Amino acid sequence: MEGNNIIQVRNLCKSFGNLQVLNDISTDFKEQQVVSIIGPSGGGKSTFLRCLNLLETPTSGKVIFNDVNLCSKDADINVQRQKIGMVFQHFNLFNNMNVMKNLTIAPMRIKGKSKEEAEEKAIGFLKRMGLEDKATSYPAQLSGGQKQRIAIVRSLMMEPEVMLFDEPTSALDPEMIGEVLDVIKQLAMEGMTMLIVTHEMRFAREVSDRILFLDGGKIDEDRTADEFFDDPHSPRLISFLQKVL
Amino acid sequence: MGFFEQIAVIITRYYPYFLEGVKNTLIIAAMSVVLGVVFGTLMAIMRMCRIKPLKWIAMAYIEFVRGTPLMVQLMFIFYGLPMVGIEFPDVSWIPNFSRFMAGIVAMSMNSCAYVAEVIRSGIQAVDEGQMEAARSIGFKYGESMKLVILPQAIRNILPALGNEFVTVIKESSIVSVIGISDLMYGTNGVIALTYRSLPCLAIAACIYFVLTFISSRLIAMLEKRMKHGRK
Ligand SMILES: Nc1ncnc2c1ncn2[C@@H]1O[C@H](COP(=O)(O)OP(=O)(O)O)[C@@H](O)[C@H]1O
Ligand SMILES: [Mg+2]
């Protein structure tokens, strides 16, 4: 289980104007580790995740991905982002493209894959999800759960080294949460490195090697999954768990 | 002679005036919209770009044009520019070319500002998540725009551009004041010959209405075709 560090975060700070959202965060993420990030709304979870692929530019500090400092001017962020998949709360499938196009456009345009190769791979994924009949549907014709599973596949098509999930089930109707969590669990079993912001406590405990509690822009607790729930130290985490469990 | 008989007589006797007017009105409106879209697109790009001075110039231009009457802008171009030494040349084989040019320049400079706003709001109406998803997967800004944002923005922009064309057809009636023989100018000519202003104006109103009605129907059809197959 212990792999190399894939992401190293050093003294990461992020402010929006006068509002300091991330306050000097340093931590490492190892290959094949599944790390969940839990915390109250507004605590900076999304901002933290978005700093890791520079959708937000850190105010100071470093994000080192595979020995490349993403914040430095020399790093080609567009190339690095290809290796960092991201799944959003609101899916963000490309609305102007059907499912097949959503899945194949990036491998074809960015990685230079042939249409045949990309489509074959896409069909493989769709079959595994039981969504092969949706290849020509547009996002507006899909349910939330279907959209999110397609969005996950869209990221996987780029063969990322790490996947970031920002509350992947928060916008879903309850009956669709399971199908999306199952896909993520499957990825965890296959050894995908993942960072998951979630409010699904049972799922987090089940799937994670490690859980972070992010509150007030700081990592307030950083433990294995079982310790996180059974033996929390931080008073804020204790009161948070009392509220949500 | 009743009102409708008067109209019938005026049409049969003076229809060439109206036809000539319709032709020129359509030429001016089409040219103005085409130029307005070309320069409006550039203006929108300036308005949204990161280079502050360009952005400010575009913002100032758009605000100024939208905040002043078209009549004033037209006068400014037609009378004002020659005073500072800028004149539109005359072309021997096109009568009144310099007037025409002044009219088209004024109309398209005006339309350009409205088009720029149409394009900007059309692009901004696309959910920001679309750009984030495209960037996060590794597309550059320009590619994200081209592949994801603009195809969606077009569907907001085209109907509004259609409305702009309809507006320009109507507003172009103002160029008659600088002596361009558009539909309004032709109508005034017929009034001067017949002393029957009401029937003449009724004819002009009907023609303008038919022009704008046909245009908006055509645009609606185009819109429907674009929506086909997706939501
Ligand atoms: N683009 C932004 N501009 C200004 N403030 C922001 C922006 N994004 C997030 N914030 C603020 O940063 C804080 C943390 O937000 P966020 O990272 O979304 O928290 P979480 O995902 O934990 O709910 C919130 O107070 C939020 O209002
Ligand atoms: Mg969030």
Contact A90 B229 (CB under 8 A): no
pLDDT of residue B229: 46
Q: CA of A235, closest CA in chain B: separation in Å?
A: 35
The H or E element containing residue A185 is helix A174-189
| CB of B152 less than 8 A from some CB of A | yes
Asked if residue B143 lies in contact with residue B134, where contact means CB atoms within 8 angstroms, the answer is yes
| CB of B167 less than 8 A from some CB of A | no
Tell me how far apart the alpha carbons of residues A61 and A69 are, in angstroms, rounded to a whole number: 10
Dihedral sign of CA atoms A227, A233, A237, A241 in order = positive
In ligand 1, the atom with minimum distance to the C-alpha of A17 is 4
pLDDT of residue B167: 92
Tell me how far apart the alpha carbons of residues A61 and A42 are, in angstroms, rounded to a whole number: 21
Question: Taking residues A83-96, what's their average pLDDT?
Answer: 97
Show the ligand 1 pocket: residues with CB < 6 angstroms: A 16, 19, 21, 39, 41-47
**B121 to each of B45, B61, B115, how far by Cα in Å?**
12, 17, 10
Contact B133 A88 (CB under 8 A): yes
Question: Taking residues A61-78, what's their average pLDDT?
Answer: 94
Question: Taking residues A173-191, what's their average pLDDT?
Answer: 96
Nearest C-alpha to atom 21 of ligand 1 is from which residue?
A46
Contact A110 B148 (CB under 8 A): no
Burial of A111 per CB tally in 10 Å (0-12, 13-18, 19+):
middle
Structure tokens at A137: 């549907």
Nearest C-alpha to atom 26 of ligand 1 is from which residue?
A42
Asked if residue A167 lies in contact with residue A198, where contact means CB atoms within 8 angstroms, the answer is yes
pLDDT in tens, chain B (231 residues): 788 999 999 999 999 999 999 999 999 999 999 999 999 999 999 999 889 999 999 999 999 999 999 999 999 999 988 888 888 888 777 778 888 889 999 999 999 999 999 999 999 999 999 999 999 999 999 999 999 999 999 988 988 888 898 999 999 999 999 989 899 999 999 999 999 999 999 999 999 999 999 999 988 888 888 775 454
Residue with tokens 């433990």: A223
DSSP A50-81: HHHTTSS--SEEEEEETTEETTSTTS-HHHHH
Phi, psi of B220 (to 5 degrees): -60, -40
Best CA proximity match to A40, nearest among A171, A197, A174, A194: A197
Asked if residue B208 lies in contact with residue B169, where contact means CB atoms within 8 angstroms, the answer is yes
Query: 3-state SS string over A127-183?
Result: HHHCCHHHCCCCHHHCCHHHHHHHHHHHHHCCCCCEEEEECCCCCCCHHHHHHHHHH
Ligand 1 binding pocket mutation candidate from A13, A15, A16 (most atoms within 8 A of CB): A16
Report the separation in Å between the CA atom of A154 and the middle of ligand 1, taken as the mean of its atom positions: 26
Question: What integer best gives the mean pLDDT of chain A?
Answer: 95
Question: Taking residues A121-127, what's their average pLDDT?
Answer: 97
Structure tokens at B50: 């990161």
Contact B139 A106 (CB under 8 A): yes
The H or E element containing residue A193 is strand A193-197
| CB of B132 less than 8 A from some CB of A | yes
Best CA proximity match to A49, nearest among A163, A185, A192: A163
Report the separation in Å between the CA atom of B155 and the middle of ligand 2, taken as the mean of its atom positions: 30
Report residue A13 CA to chain centroid gap.
Answer: 20
Q: Which residue of B has its CA nearest to A156?
A: B137
Query: 3-state SS string over chain B?
Result: CCHHHHHHHHHHHHHHHHHHHHHHHHHHHHHHHHHHHHHHHHHHHHHHCCCHHHHHHHHHHHHHHHCCCHHHHHHHHHHHHHHCCCCCCCCCCCCCHHHHHHHHHHHHHHHHHHHHHHHHHHHHCCCHHHHHHHHHHCCCHHHHHHHHHHHHHHHHHHHHHHHHHHHHHHHHHHHHHHCCCCHHHHHHHHHHHHCCHHHHHHHHHHHHHHHHHHHHHHHHHHHHHHHCCCC
ipTM field: 0.94
pLDDT of residue B231: 47
Nearest C-alpha to atom 2 of ligand 1 is from which residue?
A16
Structure tokens at B104: 């088209």
| CB of B51 less than 8 A from some CB of A | no
The H or E element containing residue A86 is strand A84-87
3-state secondary structure of A36: strand
Report residue A137 CA to chain centroid gap.
Answer: 25
pLDDT of residue B228: 57
Q: CA of A55, closest CA in chain B: separation in Å?
A: 7
Tell me how far apart the alpha carbons of residues B133 and A55 are, in angstroms, rounded to a whole number: 10
Structure tokens at B86: 């800028």
pLDDT per residue as tens digits for the range A10-53: 999 999 999 999 999 999 999 999 999 999 999 999 999 999 99
Number of H helices, E strands in chain A: 9, 10
Amino acid residing at A238? I
In ligand 1, the atom with minimum distance to the C-alpha of A39 is 22
Nearest C-alpha to atom 4 of ligand 1 is from which residue?
A16
